[in-house]
Amino acid sequence: MDAIGLVSLGKLPMESMKQWVYRCLRQAIMTGRFPPGLPVTIQGIAEMLQVSAMPVREALHRLVADGALEHLDNRRVRVPDIDPEKFDEIIAARIALETVAAERALPSIDYLRIARLLQLDDEIDDAYKAGNIELGIEANFAFHRCLYEVRSSAVLLPLIESVWLRLGPFMREATENLDESYRVDRHVQALDAIAAKDVVALKVAITADIQDGAGHLGHKRFLDVESRQLAARK
């Protein structure tokens, strides 16, 4: 893990140390800085963030409760790996929640919001072209958040972000071969649908964006598991 990446979030006014540590770790997990299966220690994270072990321990307990991490023992945690069936369930949850959020948001999206979405889409492209996968993942989630928060910030957006938290560690793997799986810019399609106020086209674009960007990884993982099982039988 990159210590600089973990401390990139500035501490907010009136934010407690344990809240800040939780927010930093949550962001790091969501943007793929914690690879699946890699154990990390409380002391190691505390040293990276230059804080005591107590707020780290409390933040990790919260993230375990969120389903983002799992305990290995009293001092170590890791991002749990997930099987293809569970991965597909996460993708299905994203599609269900985000298409509803997009439909609710559409009537309230103005030209300023569209300008911000265009800017974020450019940032995504620039990050991936520069090989900065973590920044690309972060900008991608920011694009979706910018779209949904217009009408769904109270209930739907927290639910969506809880799904992103479970998916984030696998986004790096999903974006490694993005040129093969993401042949059409679905964000451009979404922006065209927003401009036309076409809710059906917007939901189609959001669904395709999720499936092309990360959904294909579930199929790949299924094939990998199947290959290992066949090899084990020989």
Torsion angle in degrees (nearest 10) through CA of 111, 116, 122, 127: -170
pLDDT value at residue 59 = 94
Say if residues 63 and 22 touch (Cβ distance below 8 Å): yes
The CA distance from 193 to 205, in Å, is 8
Task: Look at residue 36 and give its three-state secondary structure.
Answer: strand
Decide if pLDDT at 72 tops 80: yes
Least confident of 9-13, 53-57, 99-103, 122-126: 9-13
Q: Which residue would you say has higher pLDDT here, 225 or 178?
A: 178
Amino acid, single-letter form, for residue 41: T
As annotated, the residues of the chain forming the CATH 1.10.10.10 domain(s) are: 3-78
Decide if pLDDT at 4 tops 50: no
Give me the percent of the chain exceeding a pLDDT of 90: 52
Q: How many other CB atoms are found less than 10 A from the CB of residue 45?
A: 25
With CA atoms as reference, report the closest residue to 28 among 156, 141, 120.
Answer: 141
pLDDT value at residue 188 = 94
The CA distance from 205 to 214, in Å, is 14
| Region 72-87 average pLDDT | 86
Summarised one tens digit per residue, pLDDT across range 114-149 is 999 999 999 999 998 898 888 888 999 999 999 999
pLDDT value at residue 230 = 47
Please tell me the pTM assigned to this model.
0.83
As annotated, the residues of the chain forming the CATH 1.20.120.530 domain(s) are: 84-233
Summarised one tens digit per residue, pLDDT across range 42-63 is 999 999 899 999 999 999 999 9
Decide if pLDDT at 207 tops 60: yes
3-78 is a CATH 1.10.220.10 domain:
no
Summarised one tens digit per residue, pLDDT across range 144-163 is 999 999 987 789 999 999 99
From the options 3.40.50.800, 1.20.120.530, 2.60.40.10, 1.10.1200.10, give the CATH code of 84-233: 1.20.120.530
Task: Look at residue 40 and give its three-state secondary structure.
Answer: strand
